[in-house]
Amino acid sequence: MTVPIENLDILFADFVEFIKQQTGDTFASFQTSVYIDRHENYKYEVSKEAKESLDQKHWKEEDIGTGKIQQKVNSAIQTRLHYKYQWHDNNLVDWRKKDDFAKRPNSKPLEQTLFDFYKNKIKDDKAFETFLNLKISYQFIAYLFFIKDSQRYLPITQERFDQIFELIGLTGFKTSGQASWENYTDFININKQVRDFLKTKDPKASLLDAHSFLYILGSQMKAANFTFSSSRAVTNGQPSSEQKAEEITDDTTGQDLFVAEEDDEISFPEGKEIYRLHKSKERNKELIRLAKERHLKNDEKLSCQVCGFSFVNTYGEIGHGFIEAHHIFPISELTEETATKIEDLALVCSNCHRMLHRRRPWLTIDNLKAIRQPND
């Protein structure tokens, strides 16, 4: 699988422009970029902290079957670290995969495979296939490999990277539903090609930097509605899929502000696909204004519909009239112009908004109310 370098050249120019827009800095390297350090370089620390939690040097043969090895792996997966004055959860593995592993009963075959894998008593391809046979998910296996050697292996988010690979011109390569050693090595090789390209821009670029570069292109830049110039890129002599690609959104990235209130009569067209150099979803600001006005008539504090938090109560005048909001039906999933009623939106505070988007499919307002812990 060969990555079209002409596409990467165009996308790299977009990447540099995006970095400049975000921080005002001219990109020089992955290690010195303020934006990349803030959003991506924590993954180096995740790898380091996970290895320390794994503590595989002290594993013993007699530990196999006791549950101790699974506990160590679980600890390595739950890694949470403080990096550059911020706390970072280990988002390289979906929370459901973490929970599934934590709930697994002690398994001697699993611990034997983990022991052999991390002690280099089994070849990596054999370990991969054995993990699959033990019902370990593709994403989880990739993370186990990443912990073992971050110089050779990478974490994976299949659906996300399938979209990213289409963006760079690899329309025929998929990872979703393709869990195998061959597929994973193809995934790594694609990232290696991207790393080699990046070395022409930053001689110290690593395999993990290539992973970060691709993720920024396909997630963060898309979520920020960055206007790509890559409509000039070609894929096998044809226009790049970027000309018609759907917007890729990050489920933990900041969301646009929407508000909610019941209105059975008034609705607004939303979700219509509009083309610039890439396609985004049209959003109606009038809906926001009317929703706020109507809600203010009943609640001048604009309280969160989940937890009751009020910005004006907490921050005074600067918080007056401020609220984030949640679009109950994701605009990114609309395929045609859709009439959105005010009742399709919900007023929420920043914390609750992030939690609503924490899982896929999104939590409902009632879901979040049910799991929310009361304040002491």
CB under 8 Å to 349, separation ≥6 — which residues?
304, 306, 307, 309, 311, 323, 324
Q: Is 249 a member of any domain?
A: no
Other C-beta atoms closer than 10 Å to the C-beta of 172 total: 10
Phi/psi for 178 (5° steps) reads: -125, 30
Residue where a domain stops, chosen among 230, 247, 282: 230
Structural domain harbouring 306 = 267-371
- Tell me, yes or no, whether 142 and 44 share the same domain: yes
- Tell me, yes or no, whether 209 and 343 share the same domain: no
Q: Is 172 a member of any domain?
A: yes
Percentage, residues of the chain above pLDDT 90: 38
Q: Provide the domain count of the chain.
A: 2
Three-state DSSP at 251 gives coil
The first and second tokens of residue 163, run together, are: 């979209």
Residue where a domain stops, chosen among 230, 258, 292: 230
- Tell me, yes or no, whether 169 and 81 share the same domain: yes
Q: What is the pLDDT of residue 75?
A: 86
Q: Is the peptide bond before 361 cis (omega within 30 degrees of 0)?
A: yes
Q: Is 238 a member of any domain?
A: no
- Tell me, yes or no, whether 219 and 276 share the same domain: no
Residue where a domain stops, chosen among 169, 204, 230: 230
Query: What are the tens digits of pLDDT across the range 71-106?
Result: 999 888 876 655 555 655 666 777 777 778 888 899
The closest alpha carbon to 73, from 103, 92, 99, 53, belongs to 53
pLDDT tens for the 376 residues of the chain, in order: 799 898 899 999 999 999 999 888 899 999 899 888 888 888 888 888 888 888 999 999 999 999 999 999 988 887 665 555 565 566 677 777 777 888 889 999 999 999 999 999 999 999 999 999 999 999 999 999 999 999 999 999 888 899 899 989 988 899 999 999 999 999 999 999 999 999 999 999 999 999 999 999 988 888 888 888 754 344 444 444 444 333 333 333 333 333 333 333 344 455 544 444 433 344 456 677 777 777 888 888 889 989 999 998 898 888 888 888 788 776 555 444 455 677 777 888 989 988 888 876 778 888 888 888 876 5
Q: Is residue 122 classed exposed, middle or buried when 0-12, 13-18 and 19+ CB atoms within 10 A define those classes? A: middle
Q: Is 279 a member of any domain?
A: yes
- Tell me, yes or no, whether 178 and 273 share the same domain: no
Query: What are the tens digits of pLDDT across the range 17-28?
Result: 999 998 888 999
Q: What is the pLDDT of residue 318?
A: 85
Q: What is the pLDDT of residue 253?
A: 35
Q: Is 246 a member of any domain?
A: no
- Tell me, yes or no, whether 226 and 271 share the same domain: no
| Prediction pTM value | 0.61
Q: Is 237 a member of any domain?
A: no
- Tell me, yes or no, whether 279 and 226 share the same domain: no
